[in-house]
């Protein structure tokens, strides 16, 4: 009865679509108390009075974000008109299905990638970057049927072109380090190739021309094993606990890290920028006094994340660096 299914990165949730093309996503949670499920109805949120974006017919491509709370998906939508007939198009949305803090299903709030699209334009096949929860790539199909693979920073609203793909859907997928993007492209004699392109540090623009990665294949997915630190998500194999807090935040010069519990040994600290890239690190810092002062005067202004590691305990705190 199932048409598509995805699994969350922590392995506890599966989202599935039935063969019946209805406007629903069913999410299963496999916890210690057994399996529970919830059905989420898909809808188009209204952003302006008197403006309708049509009904959602059914979802197709889906992917969990790294936190396991959100699903990005594309869906066929239909605008019905008594004079012009029905108009169908594809759109991308985000739905919150889970609350990590309470370990319960969420209310299913939906946000659109774009509040409106030009007439006869569709977007689809979204994929999250592996290390930045707000970076995605997707297919943009214009009124002539031509496809461009785009990258978007949903935090800043910035959208960039990665590759013009002719009439071929790209089904993009990020590499484990987000420095490359895989996608389908046309091969010889009506076949497909898996293309690969290097990306700039913003993860939404190419840094070189694409090349063929695997000939005669399609629908590639890049995966790897290991631990990672996300810009807004802690590693799931580390114990989550409030071990510290920041004072004088925002700051232009230095941060004071206050340790809330007795810690034995040294603390490892990393500063990450908004794209999850390490910009500074401090190793073997003693937390015996309960307070650590960090000089951040050399950082450009912006939002950063301080990752604190001690043995099997990790916490990530956000701070703002001012001029």
Question: What are the sequence ranges of the domains in the chain?
Answer: 2-215, 239-321
> What is the Cα–Cα distance from 73 to 87, expressed in whole angstroms?
20
Predicted local confidence at residue 59, as pLDDT:
97
Domain 239-321 fold: Immunoglobulin-like (2.60.40)
- Alpha-helix runs per DSSP H in 200-292: none
Judge whether residue 56 has pLDDT over 90: yes
Average confidence (pLDDT) over 170-180: 94
Predicted local confidence at residue 233, as pLDDT:
38
Judge whether residue 234 has pLDDT over 70: no
> What is the Cα–Cα distance from 273 to 289, expressed in whole angstroms?
27
Within 10 angstroms of residue 180's Cβ, the number of other Cβ atoms is: 19
Q: Residue 33 contacts by C-beta under 8 Å, 6 or more apart in sequence?
A: none
Q: pTM for the whole thing?
A: 0.68
157-170 pLDDT tens trace = 889 999 999 999 99
2-215 and 239-321 share one CATH topology?
Answer: no
Within 10 angstroms of residue 125's Cβ, the number of other Cβ atoms is: 24
**Phi and psi angles of residue 156, each rounded to the nearest 5 degrees, phi first:** -100, -15
Predicted local confidence at residue 259, as pLDDT:
76
> What is the Cα–Cα distance from 16 to 59, expressed in whole angstroms?
10
Average confidence (pLDDT) over 203-227: 89
**pLDDT band for position 226 (cuts 50, 70, 90):** low
- CA-based nearest residue to 190, from 156, 157, 216, 170: 216
The architecture of the domain spanning 2-215 is 8 Propeller (2.140)
- What does pLDDT average to over the chain? 85
Token match 């989202």: residue? Answer: 15
């Amino acid at each position: 009865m199932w048409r598509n299914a995805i699994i969350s990165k922590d392995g506890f949730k599966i989202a599935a679509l039935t063969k019946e093309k209805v406007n629903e996503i069913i999410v299963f949670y496999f916890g210690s108390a057994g399996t529970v499920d919830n059905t989420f109805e898909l809808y188009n949120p209204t952003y302006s009075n008197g403006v309708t974006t049509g009904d959602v017919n059914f979802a197709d491509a889906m992917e969990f974000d790294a936190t396991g709370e959100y699903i990005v998906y594309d869906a066929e939508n239909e605008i019905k008109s008594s004079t012009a007939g029905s108009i169908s198009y594809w759109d991308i949305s985000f739905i919150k299905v889970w609350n990590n803090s309470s370990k319960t299903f969420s209310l299913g709030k939906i946000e659109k990638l774009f509040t409106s699209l030009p007439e006869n334009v569709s977007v689809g096949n979204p994929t999250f970057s592996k290390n930045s929860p707000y970076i995605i790539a997707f297919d943009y199909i214009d009124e002539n049927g031509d496809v461009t693979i785009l990258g978007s920073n949903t935090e800043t609203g910035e959208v960039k072109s990665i590759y013009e793909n002719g009439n071929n859907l790209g089904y993009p997928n990020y590499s484990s380090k987000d420095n490359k993007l895989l996608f389908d492209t046309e091969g010889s004699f009506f076949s497909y190739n898996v293309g690969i392109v290097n990306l700039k540090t913003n993860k939404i623009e190419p840094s070189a021309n694409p090349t063929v990665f695997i000939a005669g294949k399609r629908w590639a997915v890049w995966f790897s094993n290991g631990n990672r630190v996300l810009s807004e998500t802690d590693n799931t194999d580390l114990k989550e606990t409030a071990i510290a807090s920041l004072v004088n935040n925002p700051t232009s010069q230095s941060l004071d890290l206050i340790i809330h519990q007795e810690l034995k040994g040294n603390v490892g600290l990393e500063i990450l920028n908004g794209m999850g890239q390490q910009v500074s690190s401090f190793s073997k810092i003693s937390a015996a006094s309960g307070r650590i002062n960090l000089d951040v005067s050399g950082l450009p202004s912006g939002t950063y994340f301080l990752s604190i590691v001690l043995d099997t305990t990790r916490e990530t705190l956000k701070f703002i660096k001012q001029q």
